[in-house]
Amino acid sequence: MSVGDRQAAHATLRGVTRVYPGVTPVHALGPLDLDLARGEFFSVVGPSGCGKSTLLDVMAGLNPPTAGTVSFEGRPVVGEVPDGIGVVFQEDASLPWLTVRDNVAFGLRRAGTESAEIARRVAYAIGFMGLDDFASAYPVQLSGGMRQRVCIARTLVLQPRLILLDEPFGALDQQTRLLMGDELLRLWRETGSTVLLITHALDEAALLSDRVGVMSARPGRFIDLVSTGWARDRDSRIATDPGFGAITARLWAALRPESMKAMGRPAL
Amino acid sequence: MMRFVDAVAIVAAILLIWLGLYAYAGDVAITSPLRTFVFAAELLSRASFWNHVGATMAAFAMALAISAVAGVALGLVLGMRRFAGEVAEPILSSLYTIPKVTLYPVMLLIFGLGMSAKVAFGVIHGMIPVMLFTMAAAKNIQPVLLRTARVLRLSPTQTALSVLAPAVTPEIITGLRVGFALTLLGVLIGEMFASQRGLGFLIINGIEVHDVRMTTTVTLLVVVFAVAANGLMLALDRRAHHFA
Amino acid sequence: MTRTRGIIWTRVALIVGAVGLIELLCRLGVIKSLTMIAPSQMALELARMIASGELTAPAAYTFTEVGTAFAVSVVAGGALGALVHVHPRLRHALDPLLVSWYAVPFFVFYPLLVALFGLNALPLIAIGVIFAAPAMMLSTLAGLDRVPRVMRKVARVHRLSRVQEVRLITLPSAAPHLFTGLKLAFAYSFIGIIAGEFILSGGGLGYGIAYAYESFENRTMYALMLFVLLIATGVNGALHIWDGRLARRRGRT
């Protein structure tokens, strides 16, 4: 990549490594490089334990790299989560003691936005994520998928420029996942933000993304970068496109030996 | 190793507090650690002391036996019969939070002054936690274990012995450990209030006849016994939970 | 829904039946009046004592002590729990102590405390606190331990300050456990103080019961016992219902 391209990248990882200290240090990630273009939808797939979640944590500033640099919008990411980054976690992060509406408003209230603006943005996000009928309900009354929608709405309402998602649909059934994927695409188009999605589902990565990065077994490094070439206004129905099969096949070809390594069996 | 150091540090801290209280209040209120240890050694060699120990232990052993057997039996029944269990559980929990001291006079009026009253005090303290823990253990037996027993075509006795018993034992042991401590407490309080024999009696009597040394020493011996016994039961508890 | 009703009615029937049986046995003389008076007579005597104002002084004495012990236990226990939570080394060091705490029959310290501090409220409150504070501490610890790790990340993603994080995420998350701590702190304070008054005291409800027993005044004794019973069940019951309501909203059992 030329210097010019690097400066245009929305977020960058350069030589990022993460080693967990201890009696036997665990080399969890890297060294790896990544440049996210502004507005692109980038997915990361890889075998279990390869460090995908660590990658996301490092990019968000939740986890400092042992070596290498992280930058967002040209500024280094050090220690705290920069303004403009939103994160949706794998675990249910809805706050059980708040209603859906209060959950969604949570971040805005802390940021000191004025109440009229809060009300407007919250109403929009709730409507966008299809939560109108449940605005006054508590998370305990909702299904797993709906709770994730609450978390996404909570992130959306802050108008982040980079959205990081760590296997957000992992706990959902296949059909719900496909629909949620469509919602995510809709969100992406509406907000124009850059999206980094961590997923273990190859079809999901192939369907949703502009580019897919395939990670090796631990320590995770990128071993392939696949461009899908999809049009921006896509949804789950492009699964019928012949290109989809080819992309998924290529992803699996790169990933299969790594998965077997991760499972403890040598690649055939 | 660390645990041992910590335990030593805690004992040292306790001794310091003890010395501090002694410095503050003097011999009329509490005996110094050194004198207490010396007197303890002397007490342990006196036959009259062992008579009192015997009185407490006899009542304690009986109360514990009743609490354990009745508690586990009733707990199992209530745990396995869902309706009865659900009816009983809040009642038992409420009984647990009532100051049982208030029932002592009733016990005395029913059983008179003497060993039966002490045993009764012990039982009303110890039986309920044993029951509650046993009920929880029985209620939480995973249905899949019972289905597995049926698939393996085990007889009812085999099921009870090889599947059910090991499944409930860890929690029951925890219940017995809690019951042990509370039964001891009940018996001692009973002796403190209405008895002429036993360790509890020696403690309160010491204050009444201004023999502070006796009170301090017997208190120390009781505490050491309680902690040691609890330590043993904890080790047992941990081993039992090894597979839970 | 019918099953829940069935359970509640069976429970009510059980209690009413038990009380009714005692009432019957007392009236028939099977239970001698020297041993126990009929529950209806207990209730009447209690009502009379309340009306005449006899109950006011001992009740006030006891409740003040319980209130003080409760307040001190909650504050000290909560603070200690928070302190130990952030210092794992301290927690490790205190572990042997905590694990043996409730094995020690604390009431045996009561005579010594009286010798040290006199026959007043201080030893009683001390016993109450010794009994109740560790329960609050352990509950606080449990609550803080169980704040899901993802919540910490949520706080950082929303760039909350430490104070904001504690106020908006940590405390609400730990609230159910903290409430359990409050319930236990009340129960243990109450038990500790009444027991102390009973064994050796100059005032209060516990003392009243002991004195009535020793003076063969059964009516007074049983009236006071009934009062203590009602207070204990009443407050604990109310806290239990409140806890249930909060738990249902949160979805935790």
Q: Are residues B67 and B38 in the same domain?
A: yes
pLDDT of residue A41: 96
Q: Which CATH superfamily is domain C37-250 in?
A: MetI-like (1.10.3720.10)
Q: How far C172 CA lies from chain A's nearest CA (Å)?
A: 7
* Cα C156 from Cα C162, distance rounded (Å): 9
Helix (H) or strand (E) run with residue B234 in it? helix B212-240
Dist CA A196 CA A88 (whole Å): 10
Structure tokens at C190: 């109450």
CA A13 – CA A35 distance, rounded (Å): 7
Taking CB atoms and an 8 Å cutoff, what residues of chain C touch A72? Answer: none
Side-chain half-sphere exposure of B33, counting CA atoms within 13 A: 12
Sign of the C-alpha dihedral, residues B120, B121, B122, B124? positive
**The token pair that represents C100 in the structure block:** 């043996």
Question: C-alpha C56: how far from its chain's center?
Answer: 21
Q: What is the pLDDT along chain C (253 residues), one digit of tens a residue?
A: 678 888 888 989 999 999 999 999 988 888 888 888 889 999 999 999 999 998 999 999 999 999 999 999 999 999 999 999 999 888 888 887 888 888 888 888 888 888 888 888 899 999 999 999 999 999 999 999 989 999 999 999 998 999 999 999 999 999 989 998 999 999 999 999 998 888 877 789 999 998 998 898 989 999 999 999 999 989 988 988 888 888 888 865 3
C172 contacts in A (CB within 8 Å)?
95, 97-98
Whether the CB of C250 is below 8 Å from some CB of chain A: the reply is yes
Burial of B112 (0-12, 13-18, 19+ CB in 10 A): exposed
For B51-72, the pLDDT digits (tens) are: 999 999 999 999 999 999 999 9
Cis peptide before A96 (omega within 30 of 0): no
Q: pLDDT tens across A15-51, in order? A: 999 998 888 888 889 899 999 999 999 999 999 888 8
- The secondary structure of residue A28, as a DSSP letter, is E
The pLDDT score that the predictor gives to residue A72 is: 93
Q: Are the beta carbons of A89 and A168 closer than 8 angstroms?
A: yes
Percentage, residues of chain B above pLDDT 70: 98
Closest partner CB to C11 (pick from B91, B103, B215): B91
Query: Which residue has 């572990």 as its token pair?
Result: C95
C-alpha A44/C-alpha A225 separation (Å) is 9
A107 touches chain C (CB under 8 A): yes
C32 interfaces chain B, CB cutoff of 8 Å: no
CA B61, chain centre distance (Å): 10
Residue B209 tokens read as 């006849």
pLDDT digits (tens, 9 = 90+) for A141-199: 998 889 999 999 999 998 899 999 999 988 788 888 888 899 899 999 988 999 999 99
CA A74 to chain centre: 20
- What is the band of B208 on the pLDDT scale with cuts at 50, 70, 90? confident
Q: Is omega for the bond preceding A219 within 30 degrees of 0, making it cis?
A: yes
Show the tokens assigned to B148.
């597995």
What pLDDT is recorded for position A6? 45
- Structure-derived torsion over alpha carbons of residues A121, A126, A127, A133, reported in degrees to the nearest 10: -140
Tokens standing for residue C69: 């012990």
B106·C240 Cβ contact <8 A:
no
So what's the pLDDT on residue B151?
Answer: 83
C170: its two tokens = 């940590």
Residue extents of the structural domains in chain C = 1-33, 37-250
C194 contacts B99? CB cut-off 8 A: yes
At A198-255, the pLDDT tens digits run 998 999 999 999 999 999 988 889 999 999 988 888 888 888 888 899 999 999 999 9
Which whole number is the average pLDDT over B203-208?
Answer: 86
Cβ(A35)–Cβ(A12) below 8 Å: yes
Of A60, A85, A91, the CB nearest to C150: A91
Q: Cβ contact (<8 Å) for C172 and A60?
A: no
Q: Which residues pair with A164 in a beta bridge?
A: A87, A196
What phi, psi does A15 have (nearest 5°)?
Answer: 60, 30
Which chain A residue lies closest to C175 (C-alpha atoms)?
A97
> Of B74, B61, B63, B181, nearest to B132 (Cα)?
B74
Residue A34's DSSP bridge partners are A13
Residues contacting residue B135 through CB under 8 Å, at least 6 positions apart:
B75, B76, B78, B79, B85, B88, B89, B92
Residue A110 predicted with pLDDT over 80: no
What mean pLDDT is predicted for residues B162-182?
A: 88
Provide the residue type at A80 as one letter. Answer: E
pLDDT at A88: 93
Domain ranges, residue B6: 1-28
Distance in angstroms (rounded) separating the CA atoms of residues B172 and B145: 18
Q: Which two tokens stand for residue B50?
A: 């062992």
Is C181 in contact with C76 (CB distance < 8 Å)? no
Cα–Cα–Cα angle for A99, C248, C185, rounded to 5 degrees: 110
Closest residue to C159, CB basis, from A81, A96, A140? A81
CB contacts, 8 Å: A97 with chain C? 172-173, 175, 249-250
Total domains in the fold of chain B: 2
Residues B35, B20 share a domain: no
Q: Report pLDDT for B244.
A: 57
Chain A, 67 to 96: residues with Cβ < 8 Å from chain C are 80-81, 83, 85-87, 89, 91-93, 95-96
**Contact status, residue B230 vs residue B181, Cβ threshold 8 Å:** yes
Q: What percent of chain C has pLDDT over 90?
A: 57
Residue appearing with tokens 């008076």:
C37
Q: Which of B28, B29, B87 sits opposite C10 (nearest CB)?
A: B87
Do B161 and B237 belong to one domain? yes
Q: Do B91 and C15 touch (CB under 8 A)?
A: yes
| In a shared domain, residues B20 and B58 | no
Q: Which of A59, A140, A146, A157 to mutate to test the interface with C (most CBs of C within 10 A)?
A: A140
Using DSSP, state whether A68 is helix, strand or coil.
strand
Average pLDDT over chain B, rounded to whole? 88
**What pLDDT shows up at residue B2?**
67
For residues A2 and C17, the model is more confident at C17
Distance CA A57, CA A71 (A): 13
Q: What is the DSSP letter of C160?
A: -
Residues B223-240 have pLDDT tens digits of 999 999 998 988 888 888
Whose tokens are 């492009």? That residue is: A238
Do chains C and A touch by CB distance (3+ pairs < 8 Å)?
Answer: yes
Using the beta-carbon criterion (under 8 Å), do C157 and A97 form an inter-chain contact? no
Backbone phi, then psi, for A71, in 5-degree steps? -135, 150
Q: Is the pLDDT of residue A1 over 70?
A: no
Angle at the Cα of B129 from the Cα atoms of C241 and B172, rounded to 5 degrees: 120
- Supply B108's token pair: 């005395």
Query: Which residue of C104, C195, C221 is in closest CB contact with B105?
Result: C221
State the pLDDT at residue B154. 83
* ipTM (interface pTM): 0.81
> What pLDDT was estimated at residue B77?
87
Same domain for B189 and B153, yes or no, is yes
CB contact under 8 A, C115 and B28: yes
Would you call C156 an interface residue with chain A, using a CB distance cutoff of 8 Å? yes
Rounded distance, CA A119 to CA A126, Å? 10
- Residues B108 and B164 grouped into a single domain: yes
Q: Which residues of A touch C148 (CB under 8 A)?
A: 91, 93
Query: Given strand A194-198, what is the order of strands in its sheet?
Result: A85-88, A162-166, A194-198, A41-45, A211-215, A222-227
Q: Do chains C and B touch (3 or more CB pairs under 8 A)?
A: yes
Nearest-by-Cβ selection for B188 from C107, C198, C221: C107
Chain A residues touching C170 at Cβ < 8 A? none
- Domains along the sequence of chain A with CATH: 1-81+163-177+196-268 (3.40.50.300), 85-159 (no CATH)
Contacts from C148-153 at CB under 8 Å and sequence distance 24+? C148/A91, C148/A93, C148/C173, C149/A91, C150/A89, C150/A91, C150/A92, C150/A93, C151/A93, C151/A95, C153/A62, C153/A87, C153/A89, C153/A93
- Residues B93 and B160 reside in one and the same domain: yes
Contact B6 C209 (CB under 8 A): no
Q: Are residues B150 and B170 in the same domain?
A: yes
> Is residue A247 within 8 Å of A210, Cβ to Cβ?
no
Beta strands of chain A (E only): which ranges? 9-20, 26-37, 41-45, 67-72, 75-76, 85-88, 162-166, 194-198, 211-215, 222-227
For B103-123, write each residue's pLDDT tens digit.
888 888 888 888 888 999 999
Contact across the interface for C105 and B185, Cβ inside 8 Å? yes
